[in-house]
Amino acid sequence: QVLRQLDKGKMRRKQSLEDHKAILQALKEGDGEKAEVQVRRHIAKCKENVIKLLMAYESEMTLVVQEDG
């Protein structure tokens, strides 16, 4: 599971780059509210991804401990 989550890294990096571009565009346009929304959305996605990765890691470690008995 952990490897599957890490495999998704390329997609995440691409999405993260798009998020940053959207934030910069909003700032260039002088739209602080839009930039704030984009930043908050980006942070929420990052948080969700970290939680998924940690849960996968925890699950993987539980299996290792059970196998070691």
pLDDT per position as a tens digit, 4-63? 655 677 788 889 999 999 999 999 999 999 999 999 999 999 999 889 888 887 877 776
Of 25, 22, 66, whose CA–CA distance to 45 is shortest?
A: 22
Measured CA angle at 11 (ends 8, 13), to 5 deg = 105
Give the pLDDT of residue 23: 98
Q: What's the domain range around 34?
A: 2-68
Instruction: Let me know: does 14 contact 30? Beta carbons within 8 Å.
Output: no
CA atoms within 13 A on the CB side of 60: 11
Is a pLDDT exceeding 70 seen at residue 66?
no
> Which tokens go with 11?
């997609």
Domains in the chain: how many in total? Answer: 1
